[in-house]
Amino acid sequence: MPVADRYLRDLRFGRSRAELTTKSYAGAIALYLRWCRRTGRDWSTAAADMGLFIVWLKYSSGGASQVVVAGPGVDPVRRERRINGVLTGVRGFLAHAVAAKAAPGWVLAQIYEIASTQDLPLEAQGEDAGIGYRLGARHRLQEPEIEVNRASDEEIVALLHACRSARDRLIVLLMARVGLRVGQLAGLRRCDAHLMVDSRILGCDIEGPHLHIVRRQNPNTAWSKRRSSIWFPADFLVVQAFDQYVYERHEFLGNDSSDFLLVNLFRPPLGSPITPDAVGELVERLARRANLDRHLTPHMPRRAFGSNVADAGGSLDEVQRLLGQKDPRSPRPYLRPDVRRLRAAVGRVPSPREHGQETR
């Protein structure tokens, strides 16, 4: 499929999208092309039946069976969030195909709502009197609001107790006390860790222990979601865990030359950087070893970090900065106040009787 290949190459190398993002888009395009083939549709014009594609996504696994049977009590194969993700990838692919003259121009009107800026209120049109156009996704399912699941403090402590190495303890603390994503964690280099009180000798003016996150092309597929570099403060627990890991690493590898911070110590190839998938496997293994009664993912300690900062009195802009997010709305799903803090907030509200006594 040359058009799809060109689009994915442009996405990965021309727009600097993450490898995992490109992989996700490739899966979405593959589902769309599979649906077109099995229903006898031309992929370049099948956007006219995008509603039927959504039904197919919801109730078909994409396996050998081509029959979609939906009725009362039938569980969907894919939920709204997953379907919207597939539609995002397909829209990007079809828009690229239109630009490349591989699909007719009217396809854009099938996947986007196209309107003139003159339809907007005068206050929103700006000072420029020219005509502009805006695009909005035509097909998008409404996703149910779900509460972001975080790891509890007790679960994080259980994970730490289940660790059998200083490296694993450092990994857990980097997620739960610094709030790093898996890609950021696996991509850390030793030169990114400035753990002295004064780092000016390293050419860094940032005070106190901290970690720098730099977007790089790493051989272990680790990728920072944020394009620009950013730094995160580290507390004494992280610094202590780092020191213990340095001794452990030297004991197993000696004076190894790898600049990656987190490397394989217990299985070959020794000294090679750990992968993002290995971090996920580690969290699952620690959860089983700790006999936790639910499945944990590497992102859940990060969510716990955001909530704990808020519970400790951190403002929304502080949570946003410590999570490395640009949009002020992004940290809101992470804010899950502790029940005790909610009760204390209600307790601080004076009762009507107290208010009446003050006004007498």
Cβ atoms within 10 Å, residue 260? 21
Q: Is residue 294 pLDDT above 80, yes or no?
A: yes
Work out the percent of the chain whose per-residue pLDDT is above 90: 52
Helix spans in the chain (H): 2-9, 19-38, 50-59, 80-99, 107-111, 122-125, 153-162, 166-176, 182-186, 236-253, 276-289, 299-311, 316-322, 339-347, 352-359
pLDDT of residue 321: 86
Where residue 179 falls (left for φ over 0; alpha for ψ -120 to 50; beta otherwise) is left
Higher pLDDT, 65 or 209: 209
Window from 41-45, 130-134, 200-204, 341-345 with minimum mean pLDDT: 130-134
The reported pLDDT for the residue numbered 158 is 96
The residues near 182 (Cβ < 8 Å, ≥ 6 apart) are: 175, 222, 276, 279, 280, 298, 299
Residue 274 has pLDDT above 80, yes or no: yes
Distance in angstroms (rounded) separating the CA atoms of residues 1 and 9? 12
Region of 73 on the Ramachandran plot (φ > 0 left; ψ -120 to 50 alpha; else beta): left
Task: State the first-to-last Cα distance of the chain, in angstroms, to the nearest integer.
Answer: 81
Q: What pLDDT is attached to residue 359? A: 54
The predicted model gives 41-53 an average pLDDT of 93
> Helix-strand-coil percent breakdown of the chain, rounded to 5?
50, 5, 40
pTM of the model: 0.73
Sort 344 into a burial class: Cβ within 10 Å, 0-12 / 13-18 / 19+.
exposed
Q: Residue 35, Cβ neighbours under 10 Å: how many?
A: 21
Task: Quote the pLDDT of residue 124.
Answer: 46
- Kindly compute the dihedral angle of the four CA atoms of residues 18, 23, 29, 33, in this order, to the nearest 10 degrees: 160
Model pLDDT, residue 350: 77
The one-letter amino acid code at 147 reads: E
Measured CA to CA, the distance from residue 241 to residue 62 in angstroms comes to 46
pLDDT average, residue stretch 40-64: 88
d(CA 43, CA 135): 22
Q: Percentage of residues in the chain with pLDDT exceeding 70?
A: 84
77-118: pLDDT as tens digits: 888 989 999 999 999 999 999 999 999 999 988 998 866 555
Residue in the block written with tokens 């909610």: 342
Q: Is residue 64 very low, low, confident or very high in pLDDT (cuts 50, 70, 90)?
A: low
**Residue 60 near residue 68 (C-beta atoms within 8 A):** yes
CA atoms within 13 A on the CB side of 192: 22
Residue 286 zone, left/alpha/beta (φ > 0; ψ -120 to 50; rest): alpha
pLDDT of 290 higher than 60: yes
From the centroid of its chain, how far is CA 109?
30
The average pLDDT across 114-132 equals 53
- List strands edge to edge, sheet with 210-213: 193-194, 210-213, 230-233
User: Cα(39)–Cα(45) distance, rounded to whole angstroms?
Assistant: 13
pLDDT digits 0-9 by tens, 184-231: 999 999 999 999 999 998 899 999 999 999 988 899 988 888 878 999
